[in-house]
Each structure stands twice: as C-alpha cells, then as structure tokens.
Amino acid sequence: MNLLLQDPFQVLKEYPERLSHTIPSGSRGLKFTSLQFTPDGNYLICGCNEGTIIIYDMDTMRPALVLGNMITDGHVRLVQDICINDIHNNLIMSSSRDTFVKIWNLNNVNDTTILKYDLKFDSTVWNAQWLSCTTEQEWIIVNIFEEKFTLCIDIVNDKRYPLEFNNNDNTIDQGYVLTSVVHPIHPDIIVTGSSKGYINFFKIDSLLPFNYKLIKTERVCNSNAKKLLFAKDGQRLFINCSDRSIRQYQISVKFIDPETQITLSLEHKYQDVINRLQWNDIKLSNNSADYLVASPRGSSNHELYIWETSNGSLVRVLEGAEEELLMIDWNYKKMTIAAIGLESGDIYCWSLILQPKWSALAPDFEEVEENIDYQEKEDEFDDILENATMTQDSKYTMAPLDKETDPIDLVTIDPCDVRGNKQLQAFILPTDYQSILMLQNGSL
C-alpha cells in the first residue's frame, strides 16, 4: 500500500522496532556469512560459507538469483565480503577466502559473461571496495590477509599498486591492514586501519602513472581497528576497535595548496560500561548518519544496539534473535535492519510493521474491529441521480463530469520518498528460475 496512506507517526519512524522476518540458510550445511542491501533497497545480496551468492527479493523474501554454480564459475570457499557499486547498481564485487575477488554484471544474468572480472591474490582477501575516483568505476581497493599495505587495482589491466605507510622512523610498526574506506565526498582520499590501532589518510594524486602521498597518520587505540565507516556527507568517521569501544570522530578536510589538511576530533565513544562487550559489526542509518547500530560479541548477547549519533545516547535495543549476531546492514530506504546469526547462519530482519489505516482513503470512513452485518436502505444511494436527467424512454443519463486539467503522471519518480531519502532508479533483476530450483534441490 502507498506509504502516504499510512499513519505518518508510524511511517516516519527513524529506526525499526521489531523482528519481522527470518531468512533461513537452508539445509546441507549452507550458512550466510556476508550480506548487503542494494542501494534502492529492493534486494538483499548474501554470501555463503561454500562460495554461493544468493540474491533475495525483499518484497517476497524469496531468492531471485543465485551466483556461483558450475556455470558461472563462482567462489569455492567462504564469501568474506560483498560490495555493490553505488553508481552502477548492476555491478557486484565479492571477495572470498579462496583468494579471489570476482565482479559480477547482473545485466548479463542469462549469459555466461555474468562474471565480468576474476582477480586472484596470494592470500585470503579481507575486504574490497570500489575506488570512485573515475566515472568508469574501473579501480578497486583490496585488503589482503596479514599484509602491511592496501592494494589499489586497475581491474581492466590488472595493474596493482600498494598504498604503503612510509616513515623515516623505522621503529613504528603499524601491524597489518585490516580495513579501508574511501571518503564519500573526496573520493581521492583513502583511509586505512591497521591491527595496532593506526589509521592512515592517503591522497591519490594521479591514477596513471599511479602516484599517492600519506597526508595524515594517527593512532586511535592500542588494539585492532576492525572497521571504518564514513557518513555519506563525509563529516563523521566511525571506528570499531577491539578495545570494546566504537569511536565517532568529527572530520574536517581542507585543501590549502599544495597540502591537504585533515583534522580529527573525538565526539563520542560508544561502549557497554557494565558488561564490557566487544562489537562484531557496525552500520549507519542514512546519509547524515543520525543513528548507529552495532552487534555485540558473546554467546549470551542476542540483541542489536542503536545509538543516536548527535548526543551518543542509546535509544533502542532490538531483540528477537536467538543467537549471537555477526555482520549487519541497514536498508534505510525500506527501514529494515538485517543481521546474520553466528550458529545457524540465518538472517534476521527487523523492520517497521505498519497497520493498514483505511480511514486515510476517505474522511468519513469508519474502521471496525470485525465484520458486521449491514442492511442497506432502499433509497440510501439514490443521491447519485442529482446530476442526472430523465429522458423520454425513462432512462437516466448522467451529466458529464468536469475533467482534470492536469494529466496524472504515473511514470515520473518523485525526487524524494516520504522519509526524505533521495529516490534511485530501481534495478529490476530478472528471476533465474533454473538456479533457484537447483538451490532448492541441493544440486548447486
């Protein structure tokens, strides 16, 4: 139903409140290990422990496409991470413990060219992201297991360039790189986090020939910097550390020729001061990062914690899961949070459950709790004949109604939805019935 016909106090809630769906991982040992929503929020892309990638339709909660069978030459080990191209929604990048990074073109679902690029590395791939310095989206950044650098890769020519921390003081050991992220407003700035709590800011001066420089390094903790997240507006940086804290920094980028100056100021530190929990994963709500959600670590912790980032206060604890939760993602287009269970591998989805408000269809519409018997009066609906005239053959003819001066546009998409999010052109994925049947039959 159209969201405009719902109760606005329910529709405009800024975070989900209750567990609404559970997507089972299936039989024969299949478990979900990674997930990400598409930018339009219509699909959920899930990586599995044996290398399969399953795409679910969020309207039906059913699989729409399976990547990674014998025909499409998929991964053969656990899918570590999934990243979707923000500009070209049809491009999906998956990284796996089988040392491969694969890029899929969903426009070629019924073609053997659905696998666009296949890159092999010497060790397990932690994660990979798109480097959006170019409009062609032909560069990515990749983090390799126990390597001290991040790789910038020209995927068309398979050219690999390391981003290394170079310092005259050789006594500084930053450990190995765990995570990296690209600045959303200045895509030529890359931030990396290391196993000893250092974060480095690199600026790419040119792609070909590849040239970069280290513009800032700072130690934020004495343990692993496990994950970095930028708000979409680029004004906040969130760091999930192994010291049981999530740090929120206000970030300022100034370009003073020929230097780039970056300033970090700590705003909030999120932690459970009573139970001293570590956090498995973190995610932000929307473009301005009004809310932060995190999954705690521990066999007895089955909830998700939501904080308001403006004042750092805890606003909600999402319950309903029956196990510890790992990777999470927030679909703020449809206000849904999805998380993967540690033991079962199932996906738990929290969302808004909207009750139909039929009275919005007509001001005098009266809602009833149950069906009632109603006896229609003989002349109850005779007022329809007020605008009619009687003809000689005793038939009523209606007077022509006034026509609308402006035509009704059912095609053009509104610039924003009811929650103020920018509308995106929806990507319609053709359903691959053959792969779905193979998945259900256990023959993949």
Asked if 212 contacts 205 with a C-beta cutoff of 8 angstroms, the reply is yes
> 């998380």: which residue's tokens?
339
List the beta bridge partners of residue 143: 127, 150
- Tell me the pLDDT of the chain (444 aa) as tens digits: 455 566 666 667 888 989 999 999 876 678 999 999 998 888 999 999 989 899 999 988 888 888 876 455 789 899 999 999 887 888 899 999 999 999 998 887 777 778 889 999 999 999 999 987 555 568 999 999 989 999 999 998 889 999 988 766 566 889 999 999 999 999 899 999 999 999 999 999 888 888 999 999 999 999 999 999 999 889 999 999 999 999 999 999 988 777 889 999 999 999 988 888 899 999 998 767 899 999 999 878 899 999 999 999 999 999 999 899 999 999 988 889 999 999 999 999 999 887 766 665 666 767 777 888 888 877 776 655 455 555 555 454 555 555 556 677 777 777 777 666 677 777 777 767 777 776 666 655
Q: Which residues pair with 151 in a beta bridge?
A: 142, 162
Closest CA to 237 of 247, 249, 227: 249
What pLDDT, on a 0 to 100 scale, did the predictor assign at position 384? 52
Q: Cα separation of 44 and 38, whole Å?
A: 6
In this prediction, residue 1 carries a pLDDT of 46
Give residue 79's pLDDT: 94
Residue with tokens 């969020």: 58
Q: What is the rounded distance in angstroms from the CA atom of residue 119 to the CA atom of residue 151?
A: 12
For residues 46 and 52, give the distance between their C-alpha atoms in angstroms, rounded to a whole number: 8
CA distance 322 to 340: 11
CA–CA gap between residue 211 and residue 205 (Å, rounded): 5
- Are the beta carbons of 99 and 128 closer than 8 angstroms? no
- For residue 38, how far is the Cα from the chain centroid? 6
- The three-class DSSP label of residue 108 is helix
Q: What are phi and psi of 77, to 5 degrees?
A: -135, -175
Contact 139, 155 (CB under 8 A): yes
Contacts for 433-438: CB closer than 8 Å, 24+ residues apart: 435/65, 435/66, 435/69, 436/63, 436/64, 436/65, 436/66, 438/66, 438/69
Q: Is 439 helix (H, G, I), strand (E, B) or coil?
A: helix
The class of domain 3-356+422-441 in CATH terms is: mainly beta
Using CA atoms of 264, 316, 339, 270 in order, give the dihedral in degrees to the nearest 10.
Answer: 30
